[in-house]
Amino acid sequence: MSPELETLDQLLGGDLPLGTLRKLYPDSGSFNRGIIGLLDNGDVHLLAPDGSEVPNWRWRDVFGDQPGVGQDFVLRLTDKGEARIA
């Protein structure tokens, strides 16, 4: 199973922080590309630590080059994402 599909599968159990999901990917580059792809496709929502949805123009800031940046942000599965793995 690809890391992206594994991400969606893990999110069936509820929202998860990016720091937890990062472990499903072999490196930071594939993690960033995979999660941004899921966001672009509408499979997941990105939530800030305060629970607000992060607008798409801020996604790349969360997935920057700084280690640890964005770890407290959370992904939430959408109905579209759930349908991909159901």
Quote the pTM value. 0.91
What are the tokens at 1?
């199973």
Express each pLDDT in 19-45 by its tens digit: 899 999 999 889 989 999 999 999 999
Residue 85, Cβ neighbours under 10 Å: how many? 15
Instruction: Answer whether 3's CB lies under 8 Å from 25's CB.
Output: yes
If phi > 0 it is left, if psi is from -120 to 50 it is alpha, else beta; for residue 35 that is alpha
Q: Is 66 exposed, middle or buried (0-12, 13-18, 19+ CB in 10 A)?
A: exposed
Which CATH architecture does the domain made up of 3-85 adopt? Answer: Orthogonal Bundle (1.10)
